[in-house]
């Protein structure tokens, strides 16, 4: 079977394996089953995949595809096998049914990111069957636990099985390579070259406990609420990183608008729904997400706390912390509960040229542009090994599809043609890589 046919079959099989990652070891399911499926598909054509389990059931698969010239630096292609939960009552199809209708394959993970897993599997299987090799070694990694912080997947592999990644200098993975229509027959393909950092912070307020009926001018709940409101409404200043600046310059050129660097939001506002992601990469952000205080309606507690989901630009974490401390004031204590640094690489070199050329060969209206993801992926883990990470899982999308909303969204689905396009682009890319 040709890879462009098999990709649909494999993606469908993967969607039918429920790999829900709840973030809880007791309730997460299916990663082992998916890993065994992937390993079997690889072994069937002559690969020697290894399955690594970090905890029972939390399985990842790694295999090496030897290239024509194994002395060259290797390329890593990585995808995660887990998905976020789906509430079937909200969907118009069974989220784990792998249904095909209206030219789409539907299911949780269809865009995040069993689509790419399937493209890679279908392509390397075809290459093996045809006796074709990539120009250099390619390491294939299909991992667990991306959706809950990578601890039991990519992070585990990087910390305990780093030998698999020896000689790897560059990587491709998720959230990049998709098309954004900007009018006419022009499509931007957003290549992820940077990711914001993740800083989850807890704010703690202390005060004088007491009876809810009495005067109390040192109430922890009041102090915390005021601090949270100040953080939530604060707009951090625009800081243009090289990636975002390059993105804005290219987009302005394509749209034929003059870029005003003092008002970059004007340009971002013209690129459609993807502005939700891009707009968040112009500045640091801090969104309050959780509140905790008190245990009885008529008791003023001695402490109150809140969680703030902060996302920082590359090189900005110290400045950000200083600004946040100033906003919350000296009486509120800050505690980091989770930290992952931002990453950024340059949009140049042979690998980037190979991406652009492969896209253009399959879509003459394609223009590859770098962008920064406002969230985080497994790339953050692989970057710790000194690997240059790119988000490049190519898919051509219909102009009217709000792709960003499908990530973790209801009725997640991928166009069948998009899947097949991705296989063809990856094939060309790999030949030039």
Kindly list the residues in this chain that would bind Zn ion in the complex (CB under 5 A).
112-113, 174
**Choice between 112 and 145, CB closer to Zn ion:** 112
**Choice between 49 and 79, CB closer to Zn ion:** 79
Give the CB-nearest residue to Zn ion. Answer: 112
**Choice between 114 and 125, CB closer to Zn ion:** 114
**Choice between 323 and 411, CB closer to Zn ion:** 411
**Choice between 120 and 223, CB closer to Zn ion:** 120
> How many Cβ atoms are within 10 Å of 252's Cβ, its own excluded?
18
Residue with tokens 């089953």: 33
Catalytic (active site) residue 82: yes
Q: At closest approach, how far in Å is the CB of 113 from Zn ion?
A: 4
**Choice between 145 and 174, CB closer to Zn ion:** 174
Q: How far apart are CA 99 and CA 113, in angstroms?
A: 16
Closest to 38 (Cα-Cα) out of 107, 125, 100, 104:
125
- Exposure class string for 196-223: b at 16+ Cβ within 10 A, else e: bbbbbbbbbbbbeeeeeeeebeebbbeb
Q: Which of the following is catalytic: 6, 82, 199, 362? A: 82
Q: At closest approach, how far in Å is the CB of 174 from Zn ion?
A: 5
Q: How far apart are CA 249 and CA 251, in angstroms?
A: 6
Q: At closest approach, how far in Å is the CB of 112 from Zn ion?
A: 4
Catalytic (active site) residue 146: yes
Q: How far apart are CA 16 and CA 14, in angstroms?
A: 5
Q: At closest approach, how far in Å is the CB of 86 from Zn ion?
A: 14
Q: At closest approach, how far in Å is the CB of 308 from Zn ion?
A: 23
Q: At closest approach, how far in Å is the CB of 80 from Zn ion?
A: 6
Q: Which of the following is catalytic: 112, 117, 146, 174? A: 146
Q: List the catalytic residues.
A: 82, 146
């Amino acid at each position: 079977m040709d890879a462009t046919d098999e990709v649909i079959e494999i993606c469908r099989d993967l969607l039918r394996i429920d790999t829900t990652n709840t973030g809880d070891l007791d309730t997460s399911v299916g990663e082992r089953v998916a890993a065994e499926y992937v390993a079997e598909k690889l072994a069937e054509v002559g690969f020697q995949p290894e399955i690594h389990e970090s905890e029972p059931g939390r399985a990842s698969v790694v295999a090496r595809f030897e290239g024509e010239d194994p002395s060259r630096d290797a390329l890593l292609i990585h995808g995660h096998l887990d998905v976020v939960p789906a509430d079937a009552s909200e969907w118009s199809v069974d989220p784990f049914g792998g249904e095909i209708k209206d030219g789409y394959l539907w299911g949780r993970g269809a865009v995040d990111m069993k689509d790419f897993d399937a493209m890679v599997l279908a392509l390397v299987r075809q290459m093996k069957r045809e006796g074709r090799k990539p120009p250099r070694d390619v390491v294939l990694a299909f991992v667990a636990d991306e959706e809950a912080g990578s601890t039991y997947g990519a992070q585990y592999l990087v910390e305990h099985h780093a030998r698999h990644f020896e000689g790897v200098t560059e990587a491709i993975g998720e959230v990049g390579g998709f098309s954004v229509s900007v009018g006419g027959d022009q499509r931007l393909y957003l290549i992820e070259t940077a990711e914001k950092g993740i800083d989850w912070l807890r704010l703690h307020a202390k005060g004088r406990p007491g009876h809810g009926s009495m005067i109390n001018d040192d109430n922890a709940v009041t102090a915390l609420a005021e601090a949270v409101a100040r953080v939530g409404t604060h707009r951090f200043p625009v800081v243009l990183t090289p990636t975002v600046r390059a993105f804005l310059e290219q987009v302005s050129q394509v749209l034929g608008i003059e870029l005003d660097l003092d008002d970059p939001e004007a340009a971002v506002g013209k690129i459609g729904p993807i502005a939700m992601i891009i707009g968040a990469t112009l500045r640091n952000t801090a969104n309050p997400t959780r509140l905790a205080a008190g245990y009885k309606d008529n008791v003023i507690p001695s402490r109150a706390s809140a969680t703030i989901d902060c996302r920082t630009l590359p090189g900005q974490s110290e400045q950000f912390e200083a600004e946040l401390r100033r906003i919350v004031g000296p009486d509120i204590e800050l505690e980091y509960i989770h930290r992952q640094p931002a990453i950024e690489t340059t949009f140049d070199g042979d690998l980037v040229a190979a991406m652009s050329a492969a896209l253009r060969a399959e879509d003459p209206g394609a223009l590859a542009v770098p962008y920064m993801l406002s969230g985080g992926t497994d790339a953050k883990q692989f970057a710790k090994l000194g690997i240059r990470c790119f988000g490049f899982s190519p898919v051509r999308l219909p102009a009217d599809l709000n792709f960003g909303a499908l990530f973790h969204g209801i009725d997640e689905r991928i166009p069948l043609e998009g899947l097949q396009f991705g296989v063809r682009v990856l094939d060309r890319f790999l030949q030039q890589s």
